[in-house]
Structure 1
Amino acid sequence: MEDISTLTRNPRRSGPGAPGLVPALTLISHPKIQRIGERVLLRELEAGREAAISRTEPLFARPGSVVGLPLADPFLSRKPLRLLPREQGGVRIVAGSSPQVIVEGEPLTGERELETQALVTGVTLELAERVVLLLHWVEPAEKEGGEELGMVGQSAAVRRVRRQVMQVADLDVPVLIRGETGTGKELVARALHQHGLRHKGPFISVNLGALPKELAASELFGAERGAYTGATHSREGFFRAAQGGTLFLDEVAEASPEVQALLLRVLETGEMFPVGARTPVKTQVRLVAATDAHLEEQIQQGQFKAPLLHRLAGFEIRVPPLRERREDLGLLLLHFARQELESLGEVWRLESSEPSAEPWLPAALASRLVRYPWPGNVRQLRNVTRQLVIGSRGLPSLHVDPRLEEELSSLAAVSPTPPSPSSSKALPETRRKPSEVSEEEMMGALRAHGYDLAAASNQLGITRASLYNLMKKSSRVRTAKDLSVEQIRQSYSECNGDLELMSQRLEVSLRALQRRVRELGLVSN
């Protein structure tokens, strides 16, 4: 979605919104679940006229399609819900004789005024407890796709990322991907590789935050035999493993000063020195880096080298947080639900049902999920979808179990004024002292985010280092090192190699679990 600052800077020319944006309705939930993601542009409101929502109008279609269908649910009234443009901007919603209408979780009686800012975030409309629509601004495009480059969604923010990937993919320049934790930065890196000049070569993904500091240089650049204590044989290193392909360095802000200096040399000269080597090795690698940190702030604090940032950021791509692309949530949930149902052999649940059947995705639940702020972004949505699907096996519709209820209730709904895109680059402010965080609250945040420490620390309002210290002091937190070989092997088998699911069940850090799995010689699917 557009940044709210853009809307407030631009004067309103006609209709209820800003130039270049059109009010729209996107289907978030429908008894025929395949219809999720269909949309209608409310050109009437743009032109200053009234628009109506009923069983028979308007017609919803996939973006780019010329064929549309009405909502057509028999429980919806033929008496429309009316939408009228406001003179001062925004939309006025007027209730007809339709069954219960709920706006942003509150029953609608009479009418409700929506400011321009509310539509920037998006407003949920729940109709007859069966259909959920999102009223929001869109930036129409001549060509829109539902799923391209492996990225699910049709929002302007996702289309922008796709466009930027294609602009730089075939250029042999380093790319820096910025975005909050869980937004899908590695997905963007893989798209860059697959559409780049080195797509026939390997794609090697390395999380710098997961590398032991003392071994990071040898892990990346390789090492000669005898280069350090314990180096009984030569080590290839990730750079040489990625020769002719792409090396993706996630959490690049975690690189030590030593590694930063070595990375800078590679970017400047195309050469590297394996640890203990006296002659350089030429590299033929496309480097893609990612971070959720504010590197400019780290430069000011002396923690990151400015020349390295300038070299890494040959081109920058910002991946939007889920709260800035709420219209994509229904499509993403459907995408993840299909994956889970296929693994369970129950994909038939997504097939068309009788018109009067109970929706598999209840409207109240869909509306609630859209309004949730998703601090863990797409990764958290995928975990929640998995829990919903597995926890609802054998039931006619999805339902929320007590543990998931606790997670969804832990944070308030999305703020009506979303942060600007630039603000997501900043490190979250520490508003609390670690001593203010109870052990119970810490455990709840860790479980809610699948032991993703960055997301959990953001929720708790403390730094990641503070969270590490709290975990060390807690008797309830165990690490991957505490797990026996048998526990890991058994969980690996039960979870079919799904490391994220293993992390949740074993309640340990995903990164640390990945290291243990590699040490045991197990290979994830």
Structure 2
Amino acid sequence: MRDGPLEDQSTFSIPKVRSGEGAPRLVPALTLISHPATHRVGERLLMEELLGGAKVELSRMAPEFLRAGETQGGPLANGCLSRKPIVFAPGEGGRIQLFVEEGGTRVVVGGAPVVGGWEFGREELSAGIPLELADRVVLLLHMAESEANGPQDSLGMVGQSPGIRRVREHIRQVAGLQESVLIRGETGTGKELVAQAIHDNSPRRQARFVDVNMAAIPRELAEAELFGVRRGAFSGAVRERDGRFRVAQGGTLFLDEVGEMPPEVQVKLLRVLEQKEVYPVGSDLPVPTDVRLVAATDANLEAQSREGRFKEPLKYRLAEYEIRLPPLRERREDIGLLFFHFARQVLVELGDDTRCLEEPRDPRAEPWLPSSLAARLVRAPWPGNIRQLHNLTRQLVIASRGKPHLRLEPTLEQELGPPATPLGRPLRSMQVPDSQATPVPGSPAEPRAVPRRRPADISEQELFAALEACFWEPRAAAERLGIARPSIYDQMARWKIRTAGDLPSQEIIDCFHACQGDLDAMVARLKVSRQALQRRVRELGLNN
């Protein structure tokens, strides 16, 4: 786009969320973010079986990924992926469990390989979790609408997330009417593109589309810029000049950053909308106008109205129909599609070969977009939304010219900022549930029985291996070893294995800055419990 988503101990029940009456329910899904064959990006697999208590097995041979609205697709089909399946299973309280078989496809979450099992809660599923498979394929585990519209005009907007599909539907509803439209959304979400789509799909599409950025016009010139000026109206007005309303006659006038409009101009704009005529500066004679007005803002107009900085009647006139654009963090499944769309544009502009975006001849070749970088893009906070992603894509492509793969320079690494999505936790039990198992109301999942052992029998190597396999979570390591949780702390002290509480404050501070606040990277470096380390980080005020 140019302008520019609580733990309990109840039985398994992924919430079947509805956004409104008759809206599709949300189900667990996997969306392709990156693939050596880039035309596959955006395809997805709906895992409705998890809602019924069954598991889903994923390998390079099956099941098939489909593009929204299509009925035919294909498996991941990459030679680096194993035939041994990765297993997704329902957990308790709406969680989803992931199991990786030894010798199967290597799965990485947040820079750390999954050993045995991993579990994702509702918060993680809502935000979306990138899964790196064999350093070749990146999938986003998230919640998706179970019903998608069939193939249709994209209206010039890239993406198939629920938020962007709703925006397209709003455009189709209002484009053919004459009502004023107010487009609201954060900076960089694509408001100008939506305004252009409204014009292009309206009866006025043969006339002009005129855009005005109110924030870029000096306050004293705003009235003349919009309504025109008569010769001699003020010092320097040596000739008559049509305003933007006259220029857009018969077409669409797009007022961006409308919240920056001076109060005196707001009063005159309200009169124009009510009377369908403008008064040029220096003239007492009205000029009829026939213009469809579309406005946009990232400002809180309601707060401005309460403070007397924006006329409330004007807000209602501007918002005869309102469209809200979702921020990029609420449509992470579109990031892969957007990235490759922008990358192709940049390559064409530079006159570079676009074959790097095609399926490589060698099925085991490393992808042009490394999987670790694709996962990092998905987890970024994106305060600048689509505009920021577009800019970063351009910089990545230009900085990597002549190289076989894209490379993230330190300056761009800093621009991405710390990851913004949570990543779940290791499972206490490493046993894959029975494929025929069905959740029984009122009965929690039964963990695998681990033989009890004497803590003194645990060797240093065995203790270290268990902690490493459980990503330094003592409770999970204790259950893996078959000893009581309090005992593992005694054994850690015996073998001088540190906990987060043992770390000097300065070491945590230095690591926080070195890892740019990435908690998972800090865990990998410091080798301590994520939960305990997060508590220390908060105590030191580093997360503010």
TM-score range, shorter chain: 0.7 to 0.9
In the other structure, the counterpart of 2:353 is: 346
Given the alignment of the two structures, is residue 332 of structure 1 paired with residue 338 of structure 2, yes or no? yes
1:356 aligns with 2:364: yes
User: Quick check: 368-377 or 33-42, which moved more?
Assistant: 33-42
Which residue, out of 251, 269, 272, partners 2:257?
251
TM-aligned CA deviation for residue 235 of structure 1: 1.2
Report what 2:97 is aligned to.
Answer: 92
Q: If you compute each CA radius of gyration, which structure gives the higher value, 1 or 2?
A: 2
Residues 108-187 of structure 1 mapped to structure 2, 5 A cutoff: 108-145=114-151, 148-187=154-193
Residue 105 of structure 1, CA deviation: 3.5
**Structure-1 residue corresponding to 2:376:** 368
C-alpha separation in 1, matches of 2:294 and 2:15: 41
Distance apart, 1:122 and its partner CA: 0.8
Tell me the equivalent position of 1:511: none
Map 1:61-72; keep pairs closer than 5 Å: 61-72=66-77
Match of 1:405 in 2: 413
2:284 maps to amino acid: R
Secondary structure of the corresponding residue to residue 140 of structure 2: strand
Question: Which residue of structure 1 lines up, in the alignment, with residue 88 of structure 2?
Answer: 83
Query: 1:221 Cα shift?
Result: 0.5
Q: CA deviation at 1:416?
A: 7.7
- Report the TM-score when normalising by structure 2: 0.72
Following the alignment from structure 1 to structure 2, what is the Cα–Cα distance between the partners of residues 150 and 52? 36
Displacement of 1:46 in angstroms is: 2.2
TM-superposition CA deviations, 1:417-439 (whole Å, max 9, x none): 9xxxxxxxxxxxxxxxxxxxxxx
- SS where residue 74 of structure 2 aligns? coil
Contact 1:17 1:23 (C-alpha < 8 Å) held by counterparts? no
TM-score with structure 1 setting the length: 0.75
In the TM superposition, what is the alpha-carbon distance from 1:210 to its structure 2 partner? 0.2
Corresponding position of 2:51: 46
Tell me how far apart the structure 2 counterparts of residues 35 and 212 of structure 1 sit (CA, whole Å). 48
**Aligned residue among 395, 410, 424 for 2:403:** 395
The aligned amino acid for 1:39 is R
CA-CA distance at 1:405 after TM superposition: 2.0
SS in 2 for 1:317: strand
Aligned to 2:33: 28
- Which AA in structure 1 matches 2:55? E
User: 3-state SS of the aligned residue for 1:240?
Assistant: helix
Q: Identical aligned pairs, as a percentage? A: 55
Tell me, in whole angstroms, the C-alpha distance in 1 between the residues paired with 2:397 and 2:206.
Answer: 37
- Contact in 2 for aligned 1:36/1:331 (Cα 8 Å): yes
Query: Does the Cα contact within 8 Å between 1:16 and 1:45 map onto a contact in 2?
Result: no
Distance 2:83 2:396 in 1: 33
> Does the 8 Å contact 2:376/2:419 carry over to 1?
no
Change beyond 3 A, Cα 1:242–1:399: same
Cα drift, residue 413 of structure 1: 2.4
Q: 2:415 aligns to what SS in structure 1?
A: helix
Preserved CA contact (<8 Å) 2:65 2:73: yes
Residue in structure 1 matching 2:206, options 200, 207, 216 = 200
Where 2:364 maps in the other structure, the secondary structure is coil
Counterpart code for 2:193 = L
Structure 1 residues not aligned, in runs of 5+? 418-525
Letter in 1 for 2:263: P
Taking the aligned partners of 2:413 and 2:365, their CA distance within structure 1 comes to 25
Partner-residue secondary structure (3-state), 1:191: helix
Q: Which runs of 4+ in 1 moved over 6 A?
A: none
Aligned equivalent of 1:308: 314
Which ranges in structure 2 are unaligned for 5 or more consecutive residues? 19-24, 425-544
> Which stretch shifts more, 36-45 or 215-224?
36-45
Q: Larger RCO: Structure 1 or Structure 2 (Cα < 8 Å, ≥ 6 residues apart)?
A: 2
- State the SS of the aligned residue for 1:152: coil
SS at match of 2:338: helix
Matched positions, count: 409
After superposition, the C-alpha distances for 1:158-181 in whole angstroms (9 at most, x for unaligned) are 000000000010010000000000
Contact 1:121 1:416 in 2 (8 A): no
In structure 1, distance between residues paired with 2:119 and 2:171: 39
Q: Paired residue for 1:501?
A: none
